Amino acid sequence: MANMQELYDARLKRVADAVQLIEPDRVPIVPVFQAFPVYYAREKTNVQYTIKDLLEDWNKTADVYDVFYEHFKPDLGWDPILFFPTPYMESSGITWFRWPGKHFDDTMTMYQYIEGDYMKADEYVEATRDLTKFMMNKWIPRSFANLQGMAKIDFRNAMWFGHMGEFAAFSDPEVIETFETLVKTGKVLLDWFTFLGGYQARMKEKFGIPPLYASFAYAPFDMIGDSMRGTTEILMDMYDRPDELLAMLDVVTDNAIADTIAGSQGKAVPYVYWWLHKGVDDFMSNKQFEKFYWPSLRKHILGVIDAGFTPVIYVEGAYNNRLEYLKEIPPKKAVFNFEYTDMATAKKVLGGHSCIAGNVKAFTLSYGSKEDTVNEVKRLIDTCAPGGGYILDTGTMVDDAKVENIEAMFETVETYGRR
Amino acid sequence: MDFQELIESVKKGDANTVATLVQQGLDENVDPQSILDDGLLKAMNEIGVKFKNNEVFVPEVLIAARALNAGTAVLKENKVGDNSNSAGKVIIATVSGDLHDIGKNLVKMMMESVGFEVIDLGVDVTADKIVEAVKSSNADIVALSALLTTTMAYQRTVVEALKEAGVRDKVKVMIGGAPTTQAFCDDIGADGYTADAPSAADKARELLA
């Protein structure tokens, strides 16, 4: 039996070499799997859990991921973190997700995110002036049905004997219920995080696979756009209240840098994954990107690099018009990972500067043939691998792909991706 | 009322001025249909062309559409400007099992901006409901959105259901959503695919031409 520590170290080195633009022994493969392990286990083994089962009981995710990692060996692997536990959703009463068992009859569907304006257009100034108070009193009650009592908490006037009035709020039945819910919810999360840590240890011991992430991050513009304002809303805010948006971005960015660094300490790998959404080619001009999206994101990325971590910037959609901006990040300090960006263009612009990753199409993996998959993987390797600085990844999170296509992707990297 | 000022105000996304100018036009007995066609929709058409040429982007289209809506709201309040000259009728939906509506809403807005009447069935819509809507609405186009590889297959289910109900020939079927492709569109027997929302409005016009 192969020495797992050696395999683990070799995989880590393969990825680290790619980041340093050194040509590794073969192209590293680090695909993003979401529900695919469930489909794989159901098709190939007697582990017949549904997605709903895994969301409801994280111990079952371990069974399914074991089956998956017995067969597939990526160079960095996901623990089952994408299976956000239903007990957490139920306990907090989160309003922006829908999940099977509660909202879907279909047990083989993932949770889905519902965008909304959880911050109203006229609340920028209020939120920016005192973000903690705004999050506590407005954003949390709007986002979590079971935490309504947070609206009644305020510590801003505790000086002198203000504390008496403010502490008295904790006798309010709604506040009591909210804090009891928070304690219960916090325990659910701690148990889940402990489980995930345990699974990462298991990945190392049993399969020799390092975890893929130290932590996750979002572009400051997306932090406001995705879960506070909504897509069309924030795009119009660039016209309606540009100064308010920029002022709030400043506050959010500084908090994000501190939070990302704190959350990345003491992990097995230095990779911090950003998930970029609203700065894509389709959604704004380069001029708007330069003013509203990029400065705060660049500051966030540079802050995290300065603290010794390696950002992996995953760009949903396409960045064909934005690639030059990415060169403002120092060379060999980050990985740029693309969903639909043209990889030949990405290689041309970023080759010799930074490692790129991507982007076997979801459509090919779910609807294409084995031959389509092999051809696409070969084409990506031919385009991106020469000279180093390339990691093969799927364009999008993989759910219901054909097993033979996923196998073909791994096999092609193993053979064709060798030096 | 100054048509050029109205057009420029729509293009700049100045909703207040648009509403004021439309009201002024009505007060001056300008033909409401002309306000709509030669003012509001003409402006959106110009925005559409600029979008295609990468001179403006989604935010500009959004604020122009909002200004257009401010204008049509005034027309509606005054009970003028019906849809008799509408470019056609579109039923739009995100298919069953899928709750994502950003793309669908953008397509809807783009289509309304070029004069289509859009019936929005919302998200997580079953084939039955779509068939029913086709039967009861004399729509010209059915536009289907799906964001997930797991739900895009349902676009095929809808095409099949339209066939089974005997109404497939009455409508053109358009599909869209991140994982979908022209090849998938051809494969499931839909009539039109576009990669982004503004081209969807063009494609809709092309399909009915």
Beta-carbon count within 10 A of A230 CB: 20
Bridge partners (DSSP) listed for residue B118: B90
Domain positions in chain B: 3-77, 88-208
The CATH number of the structural domain formed by B3-77 is 1.10.1240.10
B58–A367 CB contact, under 8 Å: no
Any idea which residue has 């739009």 for tokens? B92
| Strands A97-98 and A112-113, bridge-based pairing | antiparallel
Instruction: Give Cβ neighbours of residue A411 (< 8 Å, ≥ 6 apart).
Output: none
Q: Which residues of B touch A104 (CB under 8 A)?
A: 97
The pLDDT value given to residue B52: 82
Enter the tokens of residue A180.
């009891």
8 Å CB contact between B114 and B199? no
Closest CA relative to residue B44, chosen from B109, B101, B102? B109
Lowest mean pLDDT: which of A1-5, A96-100, A253-257? A1-5
**List of residues 6+ apart from B45 with CB closer than 8 A:** B114
Does B196 contact chain A (CB < 8 Å)?
Answer: yes
B51: left (phi over 0), alpha (psi -120 to 50) or beta: alpha
Q: Cβ atoms within 10 A of the Cβ of A68, count?
A: 25
CA-to-CA distance for A305 and A398, rounded, in angstroms? 29
Kindly state the tokens that stand for A60: 């079952």
ipTM of the complex: 0.89
The pLDDT tens digits of the residues spanning A42-64 come to 999 999 999 999 999 999 999 99
Between positions 112 and 151 of B, the ones with CB within 8 A of A are: 148-150
Mean pLDDT of A245-269: 97
Round to whole Å and give the CA distance between A248 and A224.
9
Residue A121 pLDDT > 60, yes or no? yes
| Position A288 pLDDT exceeds 90 | yes
Can you give the pTM of this predicted structure? Answer: 0.94
Question: Looking at chain B, which residue has its C-alpha nearest residue A238?
Answer: B59
In the block, tokens 């999170």 appear at A397
**First and final CA of chain B: distance in angstroms?**
32
| Same fold across B3-77 and B88-208 | no
* pLDDT higher at A313 or B101: A313
CA separation, residue A358 to residues A13, A138, A331, A363, A411 (Å): 19, 39, 19, 14, 17
Indicate whether B81 pLDDT > 70.
Answer: no
Which pair of tokens denotes residue A69?
């990692």
Which residue in A379, A391, A233, A232 sits closest to A313, CA to CA? A391
C-alpha distance from B28 to closest chain A C-alpha (Å): 31
Dihedral angle of Cα A201, A203, A205, A211, to the nearest 10 degrees: -70
In the numeric block, which tokens belong to residue A407?
């196998």
Q: Which among A110, A113, A282 is the top mutation candidate for probing chain B, defined by the most B β-carbons within 10 Å of its own β-carbon?
A: A282
Smallest CA–CA distance, residue B24 to chain A, in Å, is 25
Is the pLDDT reported for residue B209 higher than 90?
no
Structure tokens at A20: 């340093």
A112 close contact with B: CB closer than 8 A:
yes
Containing H/E element for B143? strand B141-145
At the second CATH level, the architecture of B88-208 is 3-Layer(aba) Sandwich (3.40)
If pLDDT is split at 50, 70 and 90, which confidence band does B48 have?
A: confident
Q: Please, are residues A185 and A193 in contact by the beta-carbon 8 Å criterion?
A: no
Average pLDDT over residues A208-222: 97
Residue of A nearest to B198 (CA): A282
CA A15 to CA B102: how far, in whole Å? 35
Report the pLDDT averaged over residues A200-210.
97
Of A115, A236, A367, the CB nearest to B63: A236
Q: Residue A366 and residue B106: Cβ atoms within 8 Å?
A: no
CB contact under 8 A, A232 and B56: no
Measure CB to CB from residue A231 to each of B98, B102, B181 and give the nearest one: B102
Quick one: CA dihedral B31, B34, B36, B38, positive or negative? negative
pLDDT > 70 in chain A, percent: 100
Q: Which of A51, A221, A315, A366 to mutate to test the interface with B (most CBs of B within 10 A)?
A: A366
- A326 contacts chain B (CB < 8 A): no
**Closest residue on chain B to A226 (Cα):** B102
Residue of B nearest to A398 (CA): B149
Residues in B 15-54 with any Cβ partner in A closer than 8 A? none
Which of A235, A240, A401 has the CB atom closest to B58's CB atom?
A235
Contacts of B58 in chain A (CB under 8 A): 235, 282-284
Judged against a pLDDT cut of 60, whether residue A26 lies above it is answered with yes
User: Tokens representing B98?
Assistant: 């899928």
Cα angle for residues B55, B59, B62 (degrees, 5° grid)? 110
Q: Which residues of A touch B150 (CB under 8 A)?
A: 35, 108-110, 399-400
Burial B15-40 (b: 16+ CB within 10 A, else e): bebbbbbbbbbbeeebebeebbeebb
B134-182 pLDDT, tens digit per residue, is 999 989 999 999 999 999 999 999 999 999 999 999 999 999 998 999 9
> Which one of B62, B148, B178 has the shortest CB-CB distance to A232?
B62
State whether B62 and A399 contact (CB < 8 Å). Answer: no
**Which pLDDT score, from 0 to 100, does residue A153 have?**
96
> To 5 degrees, how large is the angle CA B110–CA A236–CA A220?
120
Quick one: tokens of A387? 């000279």
Yes or no, beta carbons of B149 and A366 under 8 Å apart? yes
pLDDT tens profile A324-364:
999 999 999 999 999 999 999 999 999 999 999 999 999 99
How close, in Å, is residue B158 to chain A by CA atoms?
18
Strand order in the sheet with A215-217: A215-217, A271-276, A310-315, A335-338, A355-360, A390-394
Taking phi first (over 0 means left), then psi (-120 to 50 degrees means alpha), and beta for anything else, what does residue A387 get? left
Length of chain B: 209
Mutation target to probe the B interface, by most B beta carbons within 10 A, among A32, A236, A241, A372 is A236
Q: How many other C-beta atoms are found inside a 10 Å radius of the C-beta of residue A160?
A: 7
SS3 content of chain B, % helix, strand, coil (to 5): 60, 10, 30
**Closest-CA residue of chain A to B180:** A363
Question: How remote is the C-alpha of B35 from its chain's centroid?
Answer: 19
Cβ A301 vs Cβ A253: under 8 Å: no
**Burial of residue A178 (number of CB atoms within 10 Å: 0-12, 13-18, 19+):** buried
Helix/strand/coil (H/E/C) assignment for every residue in chain A: CCCHHHHHHHHHHHHHHHHCCCCCCECCECCCECCHHHHHHHHHCCCCCCHHHHHHCHHHHHHHHHHHHHHCCCCCECCHHHCCCHHHHHHHCECCEECECCCECCCCCCCEECCCCCCCHHHHHHHHHCHHHHHHHHHHHHHEHHHHHHHHCCCCCCCCCHHHHHHHHHHCHHHHHHHHHHHHHHHHHHHHHHHHHHHHHHHHHHHCCCECCCEEECCHHHHHHHHHHCHHHHHHHHHHCHHHHHHHHHHHHHHHHHHHHHHHCCCCCCEEEEEECCCCCCCCCHHHHHHHHHHHHHHHHHHHHHCCCEEEEEECCCCCCCHHHHCCCCCCCCEEEECCCCHHHHHHHHCCCCEEEEEECHHHHHHCCHHHHHHHHHHHHHHHCCCCCEEEEECCCECCCCHHHHHHHHHHHHHHCEC
If you average pLDDT over every residue of chain A, what do you get?
Answer: 96
Closest alpha carbon within chain B to A360: B179
Q: Nearest-CA residue of chain B relative to A108? A: B150
How far B8 CA sits from the closest chain A CA (Å)? 16
* Interface A-B: count of C-beta contacts within 8 A: 70
CB contact under 8 A, B99 and A114: yes
| Closest Cβ–Cβ partner in A109, A112, A283 for B100 | A112
Q: What is the pLDDT, as a whole number, of residue B54?
A: 86
Query: In residues, how long is chain A?
Result: 419
> In B28-81, where does DSSP find H-type helix?
32-34, 42-52, 58-77
Partner A contacted by B184 (CB < 8 A): yes
Q: Do B181 and A362 touch (CB under 8 A)?
A: no
Give chain B positions within 8 Å (CB) of A109.
Answer: 97, 150
A386-404 pLDDT, tens digit per residue, is 999 999 999 999 999 999 9
Rounded to a whole number of angstroms, the distance from the CA of B30 to the nearest CA of chain A is 31
